[in-house]
C-alpha cells in the first residue's frame, strides 16, 4: 500500500515570495507522483506529474516539483507566487502497475498575502 504525507496543513506566504510545499511518500512498489490543485468550491485539477525520466517536472503556471527517490519526496516549489495561486494543493501517488487508483495526502492550503 502507498501513503502520502503533507506535513504542512497551511502555508501563508507574501505575494512574489518563493514557496515550497512538502510531500513525502511511502510505498513498497514503484509509483507515479502527482500534484493536484483545488481552487475554492471547485474540483481538483492536475498541476503536474512525474512518471519517469527527468526528476524535475514543471507546470505551465510556474510551479515545479522534483522527485527525490532516496528521500521519497516530491516537493512543490514556485519562485514567486501570485494572489491567484491561493488554493489547496494535494500530493498523490499511484502504483505503476495498478488500476490508476490515487492515494492522496491531506492537503496544504496555500494562502498568498497581498
Partner 1 sequence: DAGITQSPRHKVTETGTPVTLRCHQTENHRYMYWYRQDPGHGLRLIHYSYGVKDTDKGEVSDGYSVSRSKTEDFLLTLESATSSQTSVYFCAISERAGQGSEQYFGPGTRLTVT
Restricting to residues 47-66, name those near partner 1 by CB under 8 A.
Answer: 49, 51
- The answer to whether 104 contacts partner 1 (rule: CB under 8 A) is yes
- The answer to whether 97 contacts partner 1 (rule: CB under 8 A) is yes
* Nearest distance in Å: CB 77, partner 1: 20
Length of the chain: 114
| Contact between residue 103 and residue 93 where contact means Cβ atoms under 8 Å apart | yes
DSSP secondary structure, 34-46, as one string: EEEEE-TTS-EEE
Restricting to residues 21-50, name those near partner 1 by CB under 8 A.
Answer: 32, 34, 36, 42-46, 49
Phi/psi region, residue 100 (left: phi>0; alpha: psi -120 to 50; beta: rest), is left
* Nearest distance in Å: CB 13, partner 1: 21
* Nearest distance in Å: CB 106, partner 1: 4
Give the nearer residue to partner 1 in terms of CB position, either 42 or 84: 42
Instruction: Give the burial class of 81: count Cβ atoms within 10 A of its Cβ; 0-12 exposed, 13-18 middle, 19 or more buried.
Output: buried
Chain-centre distance for alpha carbon 99: 21
Contact set with partner 1 (CB under 8 A): 4, 6, 9, 32, 34, 36, 42-46, 49, 51, 90, 94, 96-107
Amino acid at each position: 500500500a502507498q501513503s502520502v504525507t503533507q506535513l504542512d496543513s497551511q502555508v501563508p506566504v507574501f505575494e512574489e515570495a518563493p514557496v515550497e510545499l512538502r510531500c513525502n511518500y511511502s510505498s513498497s512498489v514503484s509509483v507515479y507522483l502527482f500534484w493536484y490543485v483545488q481552487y475554492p468550491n471547485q474540483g481538483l485539477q492536475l498541476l503536474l506529474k512525474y512518471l519517469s525520466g527527468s526528476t524535475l517536472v514543471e507546470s505551465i503556471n510556474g510551479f515545479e516539483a522534483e522527485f527525490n527517490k532516496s528521500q521519497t519526496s516530491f516537493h512543490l516549489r514556485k519562485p514567486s507566487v501570485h494572489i491567484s495561486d491561493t488554493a489547496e494543493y494535494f500530493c498523490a501517488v499511484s502504483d505503476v502497475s495498478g488500476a490508476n487508483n490515487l492515494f492522496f495526502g491531506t492537503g496544504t492550503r496555500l494562502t498568498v498575502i497581498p
